[in-house]
Amino acid sequence: MNKNKIALITGATSGIGMATAKIFAKNNIDVVLCGRRQDRLDALKKELEKDVAVHTLNFDVREKSAVITQIDSLPPEFANVDILINNAGNAHGLEPIQEGSLEDWDAMLDINVKGLLYVSKAIIPKMTAKKSGHIINIGSTAGKEVYPNGNVYCASKHAVDAINQGMRIDLNPFNIRVGAVNPGMVETEFSEVRFKGNMAKADKVYQGFTPLQPEDIADIIHFVVTRPYHVNIADLVVMSTAQASSTIVNKS
């Protein structure tokens, strides 16, 4: 019997990460679910372990020693990670640069950039050792163009774009697939976090058009990981039909 592949997904407690965990489990990929909200990790584990083997890890991606210790503590049946989904991240605030908050800037750079690097640092040796593996970095259209007030969030996602390219180059001798999925607007808790719980502001982002749903992105991620091994989808941008760019959304 073929052994299931193992995927470690950061940010599995919500949105794109949670939807990815669900589609993976439906398709016989064992999952290591990562996040900070233990109640959600527990609930999702309970739901998915009907189909596949599930393990949870609770860490803040900003805490480098916790990231390394937690990933190093994976039980043997989960340690041999085949697929890494670098998804944990958020925007914090949407202000012009002259009004931005230092705390928000720290959060975005520490989580979206440095957190992604810490997790990758813990996982990559497992992949180089066996000369196989697949890393998917969740970037954004914000990593392809800068929009008004997006300044530091866009910078963090441009960094993900650069890291994705750098990883692909450096891991090329090790037969490791590296690619980015860059979504436009997806209706998740993203805007709730960006606007610090202001639901009126958050809901407005997705009104007047049909936004992407997290399941749309999860479906694409599943497609990416199920291509034959010689096929690496290196960089993929996906927007809702109503969205033409970061600032042009047809709300007619």
Near ligand NDP in 140-169, by CB under 6 A: 140
User: Are the C-beta atoms of residues 34 and 56 closer than 8 Å to each other?
Assistant: yes
Near ligand NDP in 64-93, by CB under 6 A: 87-90
For residues 113 and 56, what is the distance between their CA atoms, to the nearest angstrom?
A: 22
Q: Which does 100 bind (CB under 5 to 8 A by kind): ligand 8X3, ligand NDP, none?
A: none
- Told to judge if 153 belongs to the known catalytic residues of this protein, a careful annotator would answer yes
Distances (CA, A) of 237 to 13, 91, 149, 248: 23, 18, 21, 15
Cβ atoms < 10 Å from Cβ of 66: 15
Considering the complex, state which of residue 133 and residue 139 has its C-beta at the smaller distance from ligand 8X3. 139
For residues 191 and 201, what is the distance between their CA atoms, to the nearest angstrom?
A: 8
Cα dihedral sign, 155-202-215-114? positive
* Binding-site string for ligand 8X3 from residue 184 to residue 213, where x marks contact by CB under 6 A and - marks none: -x----------------------------
Q: How far is the CB of 62 from ligand NDP (least distance, A)?
A: 5
Q: How far is the CB of 134 from ligand NDP (least distance, A)?
A: 18
Question: What are the φ and ψ backbone dihedral angles of 83, each rounded to 5 degrees?
Answer: -130, 130
User: Are the C-beta atoms of residues 148 and 95 closer than 8 Å to each other?
Assistant: no
Near ligand NDP in 14-43, by CB under 6 A: 14-17, 35-37
**Residues 69-82: b if buried by 16+ CB within 10 A, e if exposed:** ebbeebeeebeebb
Q: How far is the CB of 247 from ligand 8X3 (least distance, A)?
A: 9
Using CB under 6 A, pick the residue from 84, 159, 246, 249 that binds ligand 8X3: 246
For residues 58 and 135, what is the distance between their CA atoms, to the nearest angstrom?
A: 20
Q: How far is the CB of 32 from ligand 8X3 (least distance, A)?
A: 24
Distances (CA, A) of 27 to 2, 3, 54, 193: 13, 13, 13, 30
Residue 186 sits in the site that holds ligand NDP (CB under 6 A): yes
Residue 142 sits in the site that holds ligand 8X3 (CB under 6 A): yes
**Total binding residues for ligand 8X3 by CB under 6 A?**
6
Site of interaction with ligand 8X3 (CB under 6 A): 140-142, 150, 185, 246
Which residues are designated catalytic?
A: 153
Site of interaction with ligand NDP (CB under 6 A): 10-17, 35-37, 60-62, 87-90, 111, 138, 140, 183, 185-186, 188-190, 193, 214
